[in-house]
Amino acid sequence: MQYYDPRPVRPRPRWQGAAVLSGGFVGLLWVLEVIDLLLLNQTDRLGVRPGSSDGLMGVLFAPLLHSGFPHLANNTVPLLVLGFLVALNGLSRWVAVTVTIWLVSGVGTWLVGGWGSVHIGASGLLFGYLVYLVIRGVVSRRPWQILLGVVVFLVYGSVLWGVLPGTPGISWQMHLFGAVGGGLAAWWLDKPVRRQPRSVY
């Protein structure tokens, strides 16, 4: 015997999906850091090693690795907030933005980072999300996205100084190319589609 419920299935509110996605990703980072601790920090060697053919594989792993819990804790809240705001546009948009930033940040760091250094951490994603959210409204010409970009800039804009060389041991290269990746993602994904005029016969 089958039972049929005539009540319509209500889709999950978008903010709930965004919260699960953002929280799940950051939760994964914490799980991986615990595993790294149990392995005596051996996985940190899988980061981006500029100029090294082996180090190019670090492009895939670097955002998942951190140099300790304080490092990860510094990235956690901004990643939760900014990742949530990006994910409000849906899973496919979050994936597209994240992959763009991930690759541009990693490859750029591999090309210009200091020889012999190892670059790890999700701060490239953080900078990319920030720049994406700040400029996508200008690109898409949507008023509410422009307003959100202004708010995000007022709250987190000061961290953009991190794209400049400064504190030893801080990968300004990842910050810089993460920001570049965020800008490219906004340009590619949020640029208004121009409709071709219809010919009338």
Digit-coded pLDDT (tens) for 46-64: 899 998 888 888 999 999 9
197 pLDDT above the threshold of 60: no
Tell me the domain boundaries of the chain: 14-190
> What one-letter code names the amino acid at 118?
V
Is the pLDDT at 11 greater than 70? The verdict is no
Task: Give me the torsion for CA of 141, 157, 155, 145, rounded to 10°.
Answer: 10
What gap in Å lies between CA 63 and CA 48, rounded to an integer?
Answer: 9
pLDDT in tens, 107-131: 999 998 877 789 999 999 999 999 9
CB contact at 8 A, 126 and 82 = yes
113's CB contacts (< 8 A; 6+ apart) are: 48, 50, 51, 119, 171, 173
Distance CA 52, CA 200 (A): 58
Q: Which CATH superfamily is domain 14-190 in?
A: Rhomboid-like (1.20.1540.10)
Is the pLDDT at 192 greater than 90? The verdict is: no
